[in-house]
A and B are shown apart, each in its own frame.
Chain A
Amino acid sequence: MDRMPKWADVVLIPLISLILAAILSALVIIGIGEDPVAAVKMMVSGALGSTYGWGYTLYYATNFIFTGLAVAIAFHARMFNIGGEGQAMLGGLGVAVACLYVPWPHWSIAILGASVAAMVFGAAWAAVPAYLQARRGSHIVITTIMFNFIAAALLNYMLVNVMRPEGSMDPATRSFPEAVHLPTLHDLLAPIGITFSKAAPANVSLVIAVLACVVVWALMWRTRLGYEIRAYGHSETGAIYAGISPFRITMIAMLISGALAGLMAINNVMGEAERLVLNSTEGAGFIGIAVALMGRSHPFGVFLAAILFGFLYQGGAELALWTNIPRELIVVIQALVILFTGALDNMVRMPLERIFMAMGNKRRNIGETNPLPDAEHSTKTE
């Protein structure tokens, strides 16, 4: 028997983690002499109270959906891809190259080309750590972290020495041409009569992010490749028994993971900045880890968790803007949420499992006449 009903695992644990993080954040806010209730109100109104707020929340969420999916796919193959940040940076480079050097006639075609470029660049950046893991056993956590630094250095070099327009003091590319500017939610929703803030950066990439969720779900649970990735993730010896090549699965899972992280660039680089700047990813690659953990590596969970983190990002920015709560503290609050929903998952899980087991016992003792369900005593109890 499972120790807990599924709904508890999927809904209750993230919820409790979130509440714990909120309580601790509230204590921190009280500690510096501010009012936590006012802070929450400010965050909610700032992030969700207007289409402008929603536009930012969804913009951030779009980034996190891509990086969250990237981490989730690697999780399914039992790999911890910490390199989403670097892969997303490289994706940005791919988008910049595609947008600057190809004369696209229209954004709808440009976004396809840019997507391909972003995925190829992101996947290529993941390919090296994947190969080292699959063939040499170099731990993927170590190599992907190091590749983040290499990516940052590479971007630095490219923006300062290669792609910077002549005469500019800014380490960034020139702006992308008008033809590749993506429609924002304002542009998309106006024809159907919904007025959405003009200033908010959420754009058509959100649709692609949602599509990516569906595609990842179908890939993992409806195709043979997904079956093999999940089988490998659960048991490597099992995979070998079934004739599934660990090398092949490691490579493919990491390539898909890197491609998804890279794809984030159509949102932040192509959709928002409309040029490639230094540190364009703003840590979204790392947030993706928390999003995947909280979303239980399921695309739907990733979608919800990404929106939550989008809210925290935008709400936090508002908080820093309008209150005396310093920007650093916002980072602390975000970190607490990551800590509780990700790293400290077991802290909530274990007591909860015990409670559910105890409840199960009680129910049994009341219904003593129930016969022992056939064959349900698994080897676990022996």
Chain B
Amino acid sequence: MSSDAPAIELKGISKSFGPVQANKNISIRVAPGTIHGIIGENGAGKSTLMSILYGFYKADRGEIWINGTRTEIPDSQAAIAAGIGMVFQHFKLVENFTVLENVVLGAEDSGLLKPSLARARKELKMLAQEYELNVDPDARIDEIGVGRQQRVEILKALYRQADILILDEPTGVLTPAEADQLFRILHRLKEEGKTIILITHKLREIMEATDTVSVMRRGEMTATVKTAETSPEHLAELMVGRKVLLRVDKVPAKPGKTVLEVENLRVVDDKGVERLKGVDLTVRAGEILGIAGVAGNGQSELLEVLGGMREGAGTVRLNGAPLALSGPGSDGQARRAGGIAHVPEDRQREGLIMEFHAWENVAFGYHRDPAYQRGIFMNNAALRADTERKIEKFDVRPTDGWLSAKNFSGGNQQKIVVAREIERNPDLLLVGQPTRGVDIGAIEFIHKQIVALRDEGKAVLLVSVELEEIFSLSDRIAVMFDGHIMGERLPDETDEKELGLLMAGVSGEAA
């Protein structure tokens, strides 16, 4: 490996999808044996750039140089041959195969499996020693945790002789402790001479893990700086193109009467797995209760039961009156009539009908409201007028209510959902991952709206996997693990480390 040639050099890469230019004339150089971060909002073009590097897309223009030689990468086979390995945000593992089988899959030596598996077993042992990447080769993927699954992805890349490792939003599904572990592994890989590209939208990870960082905004590379010479505020400014508040300005909560009481709430999912194992919590008027936890520990089911999307057992009272948890009267319509609004976790599959016009989506869930009816027909004119109002008030762009929901960016889609739910002036607002896949500018706006609702004396139940979001919005924090509430903390009296332990199921000394 020559030390003067960059491990990766991109020269003038451009890529368009129809009228949208995802990458505009992008050039970067990544020195070998370094960790290079690429940061940018959703839609900035990070993933497109990496997909070009991994051979999923073909650049319209530009050159790729690997270790000083110009390289064409028409497909992922070529990328692997050039020594590039990719760890995707959503793992590409076969769940009912073992670790060993997954590592070998697609890289078998011959038609017979046995020799390949034997060779892989030996290789894995060596890799485990070299990089401290310990995984039981005979464990089935669906039996090991996400942290380990990610290690299998890294092992897959290393087994294919990757010298350059690209990780796309690797910490999205990890606990803080697992993320720390991942970064230790990455440092170790770097020490062994591997080059790592880390794609993320989390400023903290960039600051902690990288040597250099490139900022992308709207398809352009706006800056490349040494991490040591920058600050989170500066990076945020480069990402958004203006100064941003990283913390939400809010006055202390003035909690009033109890709005939501949950006692011994249990949920069994379609596969018969118990997802909520007796949850107790209360939310009072004028406060935000934040539920922290690693994705998949029952938070989604909690929101779904309360929002009428799923049946459960136990006791839930809204303003003192019990809610039906199964059978008639337990659906989303009944919840809305009772004064519960719901910003669901997955706006694209739940909160919006992507093929519907914006104006059709503005009534979604409230489409039986008499205000939207005219005799046996729907009053589409009223809907469109309502949409115009909300688009203006919530600064949705583009402002054309006739566009389909799928034609809006993530942030603007979410604004449509938030506008719809908050404008109903609910007693209780359920919010799931309000800013997932939302650009920083819109995050700020959405956070302000949620806090404003709280200040009007409404109760808010917030579920988020982003600890930063939990800390900046919540008046109280409850941590969920394995279908239980592990404990409750006040944001001023706790820190990420303590919450991280609770999220991992370790009940702290005071829990």
Contacts and interface: CB of A to CB of B under 8 A. Distances in A.
Given A224-B368, A237-B350, A382 B42 contact: yes
Nearest to A226: B378
B342 A376 contact: no
A377 B43 contact: yes
Given A372-B219, A377-B219, A381-B45, A361 B18 contact: yes
6 contacts: A218-B377, A224-B378, A235-B349, A241-B344, A244-B332, A357-B17
A380 B17 CA distance: 9
A235 B348 CA distance: 9
Interface in A345-382: 356-357, 360-361, 363-365, 372-382
Nearest to A1: B18
A356 B346 CA distance: 30
Given A234-B356, A379-B42, 11 more contacts: A1-B20, A222-B378, A224-B368, A240-B331, A241-B344, A243-B336, A244-B332, A365-B16, A376-B19, A379-B410, A379-B437
Interface string B344-364: 101011111111100010001
**Considering residues B344, B353, B404, B407, which has the most beta carbons from chain A within 10 angstroms of its beta carbon?**
B353
Interface string A1-13: 1110000000000
Contacts of A245: 331
A2 B407 contact: yes
A107 B19 CA distance: 59
B217 to A, nearest CB: 11
A375 B412 contact: yes
B317 interface: no
Contacts of A318: none
B494 interface: no
Interface string B404-431: 1011111110000000000000000000
Contacts of B331: 240, 243, 245
Nearest to B442: A375
B20 A375 contact: no
B334 interface: yes
A361 B23 CA distance: 13
A235 B347 CA distance: 11
Contact of A235 (B16, B336, B353, B376): B353
A242 to B, nearest CB: 4
A242 B408 contact: no
Interface residues of A, number: 39
Which A-B residue pairs are the 3 nearest by beta carbons? A243-B332, A243-B333, A360-B18
B277 interface: no
B283 to A, nearest CB: 20
B219 A227 contact: no
Interface of A: 1-3, 218, 222-224, 227-228, 230-231, 234-235, 237-238, 240-245, 356-357, 360-361, 363-365, 372-382
A378 B331 CA distance: 32
A44 B376 CA distance: 43
B140 interface: no
Contacts of A243: 308, 331-336, 365
Interface of B: 16-22, 42-48, 60, 218-219, 307-309, 331-336, 342, 344, 346, 348-356, 360, 364-365, 367-368, 373, 376-378, 380, 397-398, 404, 406-412, 437
B18 A382 contact: no
Contacts of B409: 375-379
Given A242-B364, A364-B21, A375 B332 contact: no
A235 to B, nearest CB: 6
B397 A231 contact: no
B353 A231 contact: yes
Q: Which one of A243, A356, A363 has the greatest number of beta carbons of chain B within 10 Å?
A: A243
B18 A357 contact: yes
A241 B417 CA distance: 12
Contacts of B356: 230-231, 234
A224 B47 contact: no
B271 to A, nearest CB: 14
A6 to B, nearest CB: 11
A1 B376 contact: no
Of listed B48, B360, B409, residue having the most chain A CB within 10 A: B409
A378 B408 contact: yes
A223 B378 CA distance: 5
Interface centre among B20, B351, B412 (most CB of A within 10 A): B20
Contact of B350 (A238, A375, A381): A238
A237 B349 contact: yes
A357 B15 CA distance: 12
Nearest to B20: A377
Contact of A242 (B21, B332, B406, B407): B332
A274 to B, nearest CB: 36
Contact of B367 (A227, A375, A381): A227
A222 B381 CA distance: 11
B438 to A, nearest CB: 10
Given A241-B332, A372-B218, A360 B19 contact: yes
A375 B18 contact: no
Q: Which of A222, A230, A241, A376 has the most CB of B within 10 A?
A: A241
Contacts of A361: 16, 18, 60
A229 to B, nearest CB: 12
Given A222-B380, A240-B309, A378-B406, A373 B19 contact: yes
A375 B376 CA distance: 37
B142 to A, nearest CB: 23
Residue among B16, B22, B46 with most chain A CB within 10 A: B16
Contacts of A242: 332-333, 364-365, 367
Nearest to B342: A241
B318 to A, nearest CB: 16
B17 A381 contact: yes
